[in-house]
Structure 1
C-alpha cells in the first residue's frame, strides 16, 4: 500500500453495508449537508470498526505537516452496495473528513462527470485547476468517485502540489502573482462559496505553509502574452506541470483533494470514444466539501460553518 492509496478494511465495509440501509438520505440544509443527517453519519464513524484508523490516515495525508494534499480511498466495495446504498455509504465516509457542500441549487451533492465524445472539453486534456477559483471561499476539498474508468485506457488523473511549485518561482514572479490581475469564468448561481472574486490574486501573500494558491490554467489562453502577469502565471504553470503526479483511477477509487494544497487536471481520454457504448463511457461523480470549524483551514478564515 502506498501512503496515498488506502484500501477499505473488510470489517469497515461490513459496517457500512449493514448500516447504509438505515441511514438517512443525504439531504442538504442551504448549502451544507443537513445537520441531523451529518450527526447520523458521524455516529456511524464512532461505532464502525476501522473508521477511526481510516479517518486518521486520510487526515494526515490531506492536512498533515508533511501533507501530500490528496488521498485515494479504494471504495469499490461500496459500489457493490447498489445505486442507493453505495452513494449513501460513500457520503457518510466523506462526512468523517469534512462537510458535504452543495454549490448549486436543485442539483445533487454527487455531480455526474460523464463523457460526451462530441465535445473536446469532455474527452481532451483538462489543465491544472482548483475548482471555483473565482470565489472568495472556494470549496476546501474536492472528491471524485470513479464509477467507470475509460475503457480505452486514457484519462489519467493529474495532481500537483501548488505550494511546492510556488517555492520554485523567483521573487518577482511571486510578487506579480499577488496582484489582483486575474479573472475567470462565470459566477452566476453559485452558493456556499462566498462572493465573486474579480479580479483575484493567484497568491494571497501568506507564508507558503498557510497560503491559498488560486490557480486555474484555463485563464491563460485569454491573457495578453506580452504582459508580465501572464509570464508569471505561465511560469507557475510550468512548475505545476513539472511536479505533477499521474494516476489511472480504477473502478471505485475515491480521490479526495485538498484545494488549499493541490491542483488537479486530467489527461485526454483514450482514442475512438465515439465507438464506446454510452453505458461504458468513463463516469465519475464529484462532490465538494467544506472544512469544519477548528480544522486546519479555519485559521485561514475559510471554514465559517
Structure 2
C-alpha cells in the first residue's frame, strides 16, 4: 500500500507549478479539478500512478495507501506548491472538501501538550475511529499529509480493516452492532456531511463487507451505552487491534484512507513532548474527500 513516485514523474512535478485552487463552497471547484487533471495528465507516468493509487484504495483487499511524496517535499518545501500537487493527487481519487467552514481546505493537526491526550492533537494513544462518525454522510476518505513526524520517534499510524474485524465477531455481536444504539460527540458548524446521526448503528444495513463501520473507540468511555451494546463494541475494538497494521509516516508521506473499509488511529507520541519547541513538533495536514454520487467506495 506504499506507492513510490517514479523518478521521471518526480522530476516533472518539481518543475510543474499548479495554479492556486478555487473552492465552490467548501468543495474544490470543478474547474480547478479539471485544470489540475489537464496539466498533470500530460506529465509522464502521472496517469499510471493515479490508477495505482485508486486501485489501492478501492480494489479487492485494498482500502488505504501512502503516496511517498518525500522527494517532492524536499525539493519544493511543504508550502503552497507542494500542497497543490498533493491536492491534485487527492482529486484523482474523489472531490477534496473541508467539512469545517472555519478551517481552510487543509487543516493543521499539530501537537498540544495541554490537550486531551487521546485527541488527534494530543500526545497519547488515539484509538481506532472513523472521522465524523456521527454524520449521516461522513467523508468517504480521510487523508493525512505528513509535514513533520514526531522528532522523538513516536506516533506511528495504525490502521485496521473494519470489515475483516467485523467478520471475526459472533453473530450475536454483529446483531447488536447493527442496532441504532450508539452515539458519540457533538455536531456543530459542519458542511457537506449531512445531518447529525444520533443514535446510529455501528453496522449499516448494507451487505456484509460494504458500507461504513461507524465506530470510534472513544464512545466506550464517553457515551452511556447499555451493557450488551458496550460489550459488542468492545469486542470489535479488540478485533481491530488484533488486525492492525502500524507504520511511521515520514516527511512528505501522504496517507489516504477509504473510510468505508478501514479505520485509523495513532500510537502515543514519545514522552518528553513538552521539551520540543511547538514549531518542531509533529505536524500533519488533514484533507477530506467525497466520492461522486453513486460511486460508493469507488472513486
Between the two proteins, the alignment pairs up a number of residues equal to 293
Instruction: Summarize the alignment of residues 220-259 of structure 1 with structure 2, pairs less than 5 Å apart.
Output: 220-224=220-224, 227-259=227-259
Cα deviation code 1:210-265 (max 9, x no counterpart): 23211111111134576111111111111011101100111111110000000001
Which residue of structure 2 lines up, in the alignment, with residue 48 of structure 1? 43
Shift of 1:294: 5.4
Given that 2:130 and 2:259 are in contact with CA atoms closer than 8 Å, whether structure 1 keeps it comes out as yes
8 A Cα contact 1:142 1:289, kept in partner: yes
Partner of 2:182: 182
Aligned counterparts of 1:45 and 1:213: Cα–Cα separation in 2: 34
Q: Tell me what 1:9 maps to.
A: 6
Q: Which runs of 5+ in 2 are unaligned?
A: none
Q: CA separation in 2, counterparts of 1:91 and 1:229?
A: 40
Are 1:115 and 2:111 an aligned pair?
yes
Aligned to 2:100: 104
Contact 1:118–1:274, Cα closer than 8 Å, also in 2? no
The residue aligned with 2:142 is: 142
SS in 1 for 2:16: helix
2:25 equivalent in structure 1 = 30
CA distance in 1, matches of 2:239, 2:159: 12
Q: CA deviation at 1:139?
A: 0.3
Q: Which moved more, 1:96-105 or 1:259-268?
A: 96-105
Q: Unmatched 5+ residue regions in structure 1?
A: none
SS of match in other structure, 1:217: coil
TM-score norm. by structure 1 comes to: 0.92
- The offset of 1:292, in angstroms, is 2.3
Show the counterpart of 2:200.
Answer: 200
Match of 2:71 in 1: 77
Given the alignment of the two structures, is residue 64 of structure 1 paired with residue 59 of structure 2, yes or no?
A: yes
Please list the CA deviations of residues 37-72 of structure 1 after superposition, one character each: whole Å capped at 9, or x if unmatched.
1111111232111112211211111100222x1001
Answer yes or no: is 1:156 the counterpart of 2:156. yes
Normalised to the residue count of structure 2, the TM-score between the two structures is: 0.94
Question: Is the deviation greater in 234-243 or in 97-106?
Answer: 97-106
Residue pair 1:78, 1:87 contacting (<8 A) in 2 also: no
Q: CA deviation at 1:26?
A: 2.2
SS at match of 1:14: helix
Structure 2 Cα separation of the partners of residues 99 and 266 of structure 1: 25
Paired residues of 2:144 and 2:254 also in contact (CA < 8 A): yes
- Which deviates further from its counterpart, 230-239 or 57-66? 57-66
